[in-house]
Chain A
Amino acid sequence: MTGKPRRVVVTSPRTAAARRPRHPLTREIDEQTRLGEVYMRSLVRTQFRLALFVCTLLACLVGGLPLLFLLVPDLRSAHLLGLPLPWVVLAGLIYPAFIAGAWLYVWQAERNERDFADLVERQ
Chain B
Amino acid sequence: MSIAAIVVVVLAAILIGAFGIRMSRTTSDFYVASRTVSPLWNASAIGGEYLSAASFLGIAGLLITYGADMLWLPVGWTGGYLVLLVLVSAPLRRSGAYTLPDFAEARLESMAVRRASSVLVVLIGWFYLMPQFQSAGLVFRTITGAPEWAGGLVVAAVVAANVLSGGMRSITFVQAFQYWLKLTALAVPLVFMLLAWRSDGFPGLPPGDPWALPLHGREHPLYETYSLILATFLGTMGLPHVLVRFYTNPDGRAARRTTLVVLTLLGAFYLMPAIYGYLGRVYGLPATDTVVLSLPGRLVGGMGGELLTALITAGAFAAFLSTSSGLTVSVAGVIAQDILRGGVRSFRVATILAVVVPFALAGTARSLPVATVVGLAFAVAASSFCPLLVLGIWWRRLTTVGAMSGLLLGGGLACAAVLATITGGPKTGWMGALLSQPAAWTVPVSFTVMVVVSLLTQSRVPPGVARTMVRLHTPERLNLDRGDWRPRSL
Contacts and interface: CB of A to CB of B under 8 A. Distances in A.
B257 interface: yes
Contact of B473 (A40, A77, A96, A105): A40
A30 B480 contact: yes
A95 B473 contact: no
A44 B469 contact: yes
Nearest to A114: B475
A66 interface: yes
Contact of A76 (B214, B253, B480): B214
Nearest to B226: A66
A50 B470 CA distance: 18
Interface string A60-85: 00110010011000001100000010
Nearest to A91: B274
Most chain A CB neighbours (cut-off 10 Å) among B74, B82, B466: B82
Nearest to B264: A99
B263 A102 contact: yes
Contact of B75 (A40, A94, A103): A94
B82 A98 contact: yes
Nearest to B91: A47
B299 interface: no
Contacts of A69: 214-215
Interface string A108-123: 0110011011001100
Q: Tell me what chain A mostly uses at the interface: helix, strand, loop, or mixed.
A: helix
B260 A106 contact: yes
Contacts of B74: 91
Q: How large is the interface on B (under 10, 10 to 19, 20 to 34, 35 or more residues)?
A: 35 or more
B478 A117 contact: yes
A24 B305 CA distance: 69
Contact of B82 (A32, A101, A110): A101
B333 to A, nearest CB: 29
Contacts of B477: 117
Contacts of B259: 102
Interface stretch (A1-9, A12-20, A51-59): A51-59
A110 B214 contact: no
B362 interface: no
Given A66-B222, A116-B474, A84 B85 contact: no
A29 B225 contact: no
Given A29-B470, A77-B213, A113-B253, A91 B271 contact: yes
B79 A62 contact: yes
Contacts of B225: 66
Contacts of A58: 79, 82-83, 233
A105 B259 CA distance: 11
Contacts of B478: 26, 117, 120-121
A99 to B, nearest CB: 5
A90 B86 contact: no
Interface string B343-376: 0000000000000000000000000000000000
Most chain B CB neighbours (cut-off 10 Å) among A48, A86, A114, A121: A86
B75 A90 contact: yes
B267 A76 contact: no
Contact of B469 (A40, A70, A76, A95): A40
Q: Tell me what chain B mostly uses at the interface: helix, strand, loop, or mixed.
A: helix
B280 to A, nearest CB: 14
A90 B273 CA distance: 12
B475 A29 contact: no
B479 interface: yes
Contact of A98 (B68, B263, B274): B263
B257 A106 contact: yes
Given A48-B394, A98-B267, A66 B214 contact: yes
B254 to A, nearest CB: 11
B72 interface: yes
Interface string B464-488: 0011011001110111110000000
A76 B78 contact: no
Interface in B111-125: none
B71 A98 contact: no
Contacts of B90: 109
Interface string B373-394: 0000000000000000000001
Nearest to A31: B481
Contacts of B213: 76-77, 84, 86
A26 B480 contact: yes
A96 B267 contact: yes
B53 to A, nearest CB: 20
A90 B79 contact: no
B256 interface: yes
Interface in B169-222: 212-216, 222
Contacts of A76: 213-216
Given A66-B214, A91-B74, A102-B263, 17 more contacts: A26-B479, A29-B470, A55-B83, A55-B87, A58-B83, A66-B226, A87-B68, A90-B75, A94-B79, A95-B271, A98-B79, A98-B263, A102-B86, A103-B260, A106-B257, A110-B253, A121-B478
Interface of B: 68, 71-72, 74-75, 78-79, 81-83, 85-87, 90, 212-216, 222, 225-226, 229, 233, 253, 256-257, 259-260, 263-264, 267-268, 270-271, 274-275, 278, 394, 466-467, 469-470, 473-475, 477-481
21 contacts: A30-B481, A47-B473, A51-B87, A51-B394, A55-B83, A55-B86, A58-B82, A66-B222, A66-B229, A77-B213, A87-B68, A92-B271, A95-B78, A95-B267, A101-B82, A102-B82, A102-B86, A109-B90, A113-B475, A116-B475, A117-B477
